[in-house]
Structure 1
Amino acid sequence: MAHRIQRVVMECELEKMKAVAEAREEERRAAAKALAALQTKHVAQLQVTGAMANKEYQKSLNKLSIDKEYEMNIAFGITQKETLEETLKQLEEAEKTHQTKLEEVTTKVKEKETQMEFTNQKLESMTAWKDRLEEEIQEIRQAFQKYIEITFPQLSSGQADFILPSRKKFENEDTKNEG
């Protein structure tokens, strides 16, 4: 009986070990299955989180791009305004310089016109004086010619011309060049 009890105890022990091994195996399979399910769940969550992160990244990138474009437009506007102001300032300075030079030239032109007018008046006066002198000389020559003709009636015309001073008619340089 003892032998039988011992054998039953051994069989129970074997069954117990077998049951424990099966239970452990069952637990391992359940744990592996749970781990696989958990891993699948985490992979799915990672994919969803990655997609959301990518979407958020694209959204942030678009916002950053829009913000940078806005900043660049502002900077460009400021630069354009500064350039325009500088150009207008230079244009204004050039206009002032031009106006000053124009006034100087106008003043010089007026001075030259005044000088020319004065010179023309002097020239007209001298020309009139020369013409009067020419007329006076001509009158003197004619009077002297009459005197010679009255004093020496026996001389034929042109014989006493040697007594008259030789007279060359004044010719202007401009008149010589034209002819």
Structure 2
Amino acid sequence: MTTTTPVEEDGVKRRDFLYVAAGGLGAVGAAAAIWPFISQMNPSADVLALSTTEVDLSGIEVGSEITVVWQGKPVFVRHRTEENIEAARDVVVADLPDPQTDAERVIKPEWLIMVGVCTHLGCIPLKGQGDYGGWFCPCHGSQYDTSGRIRQGPAPKNLIVPPYEFLNDDTIKIG
């Protein structure tokens, strides 16, 4: 009587190949099954459309400011005067509650771009008011200077500078 043994080539059995093939097929099937669940977590088209905002700066006169919307938040775009720039530069940074130089907050000194939401409780500060020529939050009295830095009041941080870049001399892209 002869006994049969599995066919072996270099120590690998036919059954080993079947295990690897079945495991690979199972992994591909599992990935195909969970892909829709992962894909649905991506931002929708309307959210992606809000992720950046382009702003035309050509119509903003020196000394004036506009408010645009980026990701549902107001963003202040101020064309600063030389007096605004000098006032922002002349501040002793060590005396500020949230020390930050004016140069750290702007790309071009004449343009100040920042999210117009008070860092205390999320109110919208009023422009051109307060003791520092910047913004005043009427809810709890926070005052910001001409660089959007907190100078007085309960707000713990400066107004946030969003990510932005100059596409050319007259256009910025926020976000």
TM-score (norm 1): 0.27
Return the structure number with greater strand share: 2
Greater C-alpha radius of gyration: 1
TM-score (norm 2): 0.27
The one of the two structures with greater contact order (alpha-carbon pairs below 8 A, sep at least 6) is 2
